[in-house]
């Protein structure tokens, strides 16, 4: 027998790898990650592939900074749901849980620091510094010894959390970002996957991607960011904010 995998690659993805991954997701859809990882010849784990796809390669991603509206929405939802990033992300079309998580982190860190500065050490529970003493100010629990405390939101009684998975992610056809790769794809469009692609040889394939036409890609456009049924109870902002997005 041979070594199962020579060595699993880690670390930053190369353009070539991205391109490969996009191709194979186009072919097989974005669910069988383990399979894709093997077949593609990328020496990556399925997990790694998925992550790369979801956070970076997915055509529906917006990229760029969060708009003020998005930021507000994040704050609002976070205060409502706690650190259910994937769930929150679903409310922000084109944003990933990772993005939101990162934003939240830095945002909260900033806030925490501001507060620290503003707060004389002995200052009691006077709190509410900014004129806007809103819930999104995510109070730093008074236990805040660790700096990360700001991050802790476990106290939110989140609704029966584990429903997240109910929402199956599907694909999105809108092409936004990932310029190079998608440009490439645009180039090669029309060059359907060549039959020379032998699934298990994988590597030999010249990666002329099929025009994104894998079965799974043809589902409704941004399922990822579609509402969870129970999330419809979602109140205020986002419906207004993103009502237009569905177009």
Partner DNA sequence: AACCATGCCAACCGCACGATG
Partner DNA sequence: CCATCGTGCGGTTGGCATGGT
Applying CB under 7 A, the residues found at the interface with DNA are 9-13, 31-35, 44, 46-48, 50-52, 55-56, 65, 83-87, 97-99, 101-103, 105-107, 109-110, 113, 148, 151, 153-154, 161-162, 164-165, 167-169
Which H, E and C letters describe 9-31, residue by residue? CCCCCCHHHHHHHHHHHHHHCCC
DSSP reduced 3-state for 114: helix
Calpha distance 61→44 (Å, rounded): 22
C-beta of 190: minimal distance to DNA in Å? 28
* Nearer Cβ to DNA (109/191): 109
C-beta of 192: minimal distance to DNA in Å? 24
Calpha distance 31→165 (Å, rounded): 13
* Nearer Cβ to DNA (2/10): 10
C-beta of 86: minimal distance to DNA in Å? 3
* Nearer Cβ to DNA (93/208): 93
Return the structure tokens found at 226: 């579609």
C-beta of 180: minimal distance to DNA in Å? 13
* Nearer Cβ to DNA (136/208): 136
- Residue carrying the six token digits 């109140």: 235
Calpha distance 207→93 (Å, rounded): 29
Calpha distance 85→41 (Å, rounded): 31
């Amino acid at each position: 027998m041979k070594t199962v995998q020579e060595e699993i690659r880690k670390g930053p993805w190369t353009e070539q790898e991205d391109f490969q991954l996009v191709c194979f997701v186009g072919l097989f859809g974005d669910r069988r990650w383990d399979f894709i990882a093997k077949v593609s010849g990328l020496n990556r784990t399925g997990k790694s592939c998925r992550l790369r796809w979801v956070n970076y390669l997915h055509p529906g991603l917006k990229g760029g900074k969060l708009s003020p509206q998005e930021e507000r929405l994040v704050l609002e939802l976070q205060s409502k749901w706690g650190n259910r990033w994937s769930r929150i992300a679903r409310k922000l079309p084109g944003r990933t849980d990772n993005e939101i998580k990162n934003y939240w982190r830095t945002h909260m860190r900033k806030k925490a620091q501001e507060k620290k500065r503003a707060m004389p050490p002995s200052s009691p529970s006077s709190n509410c510094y900014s004129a806007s003493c809103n819930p999104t100010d995510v109070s730093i629990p008074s236990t805040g010894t660790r700096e990360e405390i700001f991050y802790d939101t476990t106290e939110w009684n989140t609704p029966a959390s584990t429903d997240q998975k109910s929402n199956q992610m599907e694909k999105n056809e809108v092409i936004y970002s990932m310029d190079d790769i998608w440009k490439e794809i645009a180039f090669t469009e029309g060059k359907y996957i060549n039959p020379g692609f032998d699934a298990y040889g994988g590597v030999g394939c010249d990666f002329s991607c099929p025009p994104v036409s894998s079965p799974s890609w043809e589902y409704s456009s941004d399922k990822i960011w579609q509402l969870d049924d129970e999330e419809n109870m979602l109140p205020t902002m986002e419906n207004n904010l993103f009502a237009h997005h569905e177009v």
